[in-house]
Structures are given as C-alpha cells and as structure tokens.
Amino acid sequence: MYVSKSNSKSKSENEVFVNEYLVKEGYALGATYPPDVKYQLLFKEAEKEAREERRGLWSSCQEEVSDVSKVPNEDDNVTVNQSTDTIECSLNKYNCSDFKTQAEAQGVFETCGGVANDVHKLDRDGDGKVCESLP
C-alpha cells in the first residue's frame, strides 16, 4: 500500500510504501507469502537495516532482566505445607487472623482464584499479596 504525502513536490517523493516503511523502522517483520513475493528482497533489506540500526522491534528494552530460572535449594528455607483440609472458596470464610503465616494465607488466596476471586477480602490493597502483616 502506498500513501501520498501532500507536502512533497514530485510523484516519487510524494509516495511512501507503507509496508516497507513499517519494516524499515522496525515496526513489522519483513514477511512475504506466495504468490505475493514481489517485494521480498525489498523487505529483507529493510529488515536488515532495522536490525543493524536497532530500530523498533530490534531495539533494547533497557531494563534489567531478572533471573526467574532460579530453583530453590535446601539453603533457601522454603517450606511447603500441604493441607488435607478442604478450602472453602464460595463464601467469605477466612480472615488474616485464621492463618499462622502470610504464605499460608497466600496459598488459600491463590487456590480460590487470587485477585479475580478474592471472596475472603484478604487482599485489601489489590496488589496480589495477602495478609502482609503476618510473618
């Protein structure tokens, strides 16, 4: 698709090939599918330029990436308590005072649907972490 710019004088300056522009600026990938492969080389070059210039999709996020792959080991003191009791999720049955630890309350909260179904009103500030005053 071509779009005309009204402020240009000549016809070649007056038209912008939108698909090429989007790929060249890093807003799209240069993909072609048969039988429409007429601009395949044009798109490949535009994508190569965008990658080299680190535009759009190819730019860095400039954020620190946290390591979420860390698996707890014995030194992390992680305790998981599995209860055989049935957790009631259909009515407001629990208060923070019903739990010994924040982790126990968090487990019930998540089992019952988390923020989307906080029937017990354990997450007062809506941040997804319940009974924050508990140890």
Nearest to 124 by CA among 135, 132, 112: 132
Measured in degrees and rounded to the nearest 5, phi and psi for residue 42 equal -60, -45
- In tens, the pLDDT along 65-109 reads 555 555 555 555 545 454 546 788 878 888 899 899 999 988 888
How much is the pLDDT for 92?
84
Mean pLDDT of 15-28: 89
Q: Which helix (H) or strand (E) holds 103?
A: helix 102-111
| CB-CB contact of 108 with 114 (8 Å) | no
Q: Are 56 and 26 in contact (CB under 8 A)?
A: yes
Q: Where are the domains of the chain?
A: 2-58, 79-135
Mean pLDDT of the chain: 78
- Tell me the whole-structure pTM to 2 decimals: 0.40
